[in-house]
């Protein structure tokens, strides 16, 4: 992935803002009291798809129209948020979208993707299986295969980090969830483009810790499974291009359990009255686990999405 400049990210923001406004970031007082540090929350749960990925979907579709004007549509694999973003962006530009999800995927995320105009196909036991099927369908139906990681996706996603750093340029640390990596790579890209010293900390699930294992080993490691209710984190193997960026640009990667994530979802509700899905709350879970080290500091957490099924959320809140 080539290094992004501030100009690159601001240009991406102009495309993004044709479809959605910037999202808010607030330093919530009850979180500060609870954790003993200033806590800025970046509210990517408030985009038109309820998650940060829509930004990358928009910039990617503009690139596709420009570089591959003959493309009739796209196909990609997702657990939900990436698919919603591509469906919305494809519809905006008049392209068809075919999205592959693993069997047993979130019913509400599937419905949302169909609501944005995508055709949804269920295949395989997890995201990595769905990814292989998406590649097969791209070939079979002459559709453009959208990878889970691409410079144009990162460029769009980096716009949320630009908004956050413009509002709070003196953050000591920012916690970012890692699935396929566009989120953390976008934060690293924006930080570096702005010349800031902020440390970036990646967050994974203890049940899907491939990114942490790889970071600690200095080489890509794969896990046998990725069974976490935080579906946005449920990846068995890092994307090599993304790993290259966060291996060099992150300070460390922290893992949090499903119980810690559930507690962070409750804290978000109690202290900010915001709905967070599992992956969306993982950054706050990591901050809670490192609260002593963060005492008195200025910290950012990315609330990357709020798309959690009602039945799951009811259990968590209870």
Q: What is the pTM of this model?
A: 0.95
Q: pLDDT tens digit string along 209-238?
A: 999 999 999 999 999 888 898 988 989 999
What CA–CA distance (Å, rounded) separates 6 from 2?
Answer: 13
166 and 136 belong to one structural domain: no
Has residue 126 got a pLDDT over 80?
A: yes
Q: Residue 128: its pLDDT value, please?
A: 85
Has residue 194 got a pLDDT over 80?
A: yes
Region 271-290: mean pLDDT is 98
What CA–CA distance (Å, rounded) separates 13 from 45?
Answer: 18
Has residue 167 got a pLDDT over 90?
A: yes
251 and 291 belong to one structural domain: yes
Q: In what order do the strands lie in the sheet with 252-256?
A: 25-27, 38-43, 298-303, 173-177, 199-205, 252-256
Task: Grade residue 155 by pLDDT with cuts at 50, 70 and 90.
Answer: very high
Instruction: Answer whether 211's CB lies under 8 Å from 247's CB.
Output: no
Has residue 64 got a pLDDT over 90?
A: yes
Q: Residue 79: its pLDDT value, please?
A: 84
**1 within some domain:** no
In this structure, what are the phi and psi dihedrals at residue 210, rounded to the nearest 5 degrees?
-55, -40
Residue 84 maps to which CATH number?
A: 3.40.50.1100
Count Cα neighbours of 192 within 13 Å in the Cβ-side half-sphere: 19
290 and 226 belong to one structural domain: yes
Domain with 126, as residue range(s), is 54-145
**281 within some domain:** yes
Has residue 1 got a pLDDT over 80?
A: no
36 and 73 belong to one structural domain: no
Q: pLDDT tens digit string along 7-31?
A: 999 999 999 999 999 999 999 999 9
Has residue 127 got a pLDDT over 90?
A: no
Q: pLDDT tens digit string along 67-81?
A: 999 999 999 999 888
98 strand-pairing partners = 75, 119
């Amino acid at each position: 992935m080539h290094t992004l400049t501030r100009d690159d990210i601001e240009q991406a923001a102009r495309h993004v803002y044709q479809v959605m406004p910037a999202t808010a970031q607030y330093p919530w007082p009850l979180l500060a009291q609870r954790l003993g540090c200033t806590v800025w929350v970046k509210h990517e749960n408030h985009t038109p798809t309820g998650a940060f990925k829509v930004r990358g979907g928009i910039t990617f579709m503009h690139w596709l129209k420009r570089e591959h004007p003959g493309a009739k549509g796209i196909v990609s694999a997702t657990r939900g948020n990436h698919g919603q973003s591509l469906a919305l962006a494809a519809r905006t530009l008049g392209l068809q979208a075919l999205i592959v999800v693993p069997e047993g995927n979130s019913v509400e995320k599937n419905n949302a993707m169909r609501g944005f105009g995508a055709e949804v196909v269920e295949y395989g036991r997890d995201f990595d299986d769905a990814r292989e099927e998406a590649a097969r369908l791209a070939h079979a139906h002459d559709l453009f295969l959208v990878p889970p990681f691409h410079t144009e996706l990162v460029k769009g996603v980096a716009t949320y980090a630009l908004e956050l750093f413009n509002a709070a340029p003196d953050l000591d640390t920012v916690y970012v969830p890692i699935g396929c990596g566009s989120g953390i790579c976008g934060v690293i890209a924006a930080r570096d483009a702005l010349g800031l010293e902020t440390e970036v900390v990646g967050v994974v699930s203890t049940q899907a810790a491939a990114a942490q294992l790889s970071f600690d080993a200095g080489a890509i490691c794969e896990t046998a499974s990725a069974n976490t209710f935080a579906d946005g984190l449920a990846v068995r193997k890092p994307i090599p291009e993304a790993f290259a960026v966060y291996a060099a640009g992150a300070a460390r990667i922290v893992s949090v359990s499903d119980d810690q994530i559930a507690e962070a979802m409750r804290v978000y509700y109690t202290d900010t009255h915001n709905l967070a899905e599992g992956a969306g709350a993982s950054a706050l879970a990591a901050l809670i686990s490192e609260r002593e080290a963060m005492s008195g500091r200025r910290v950012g957490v990315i609330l990357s999405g709020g798309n959690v099924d009602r039945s799951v959320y009811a259990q968590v809140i209870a």
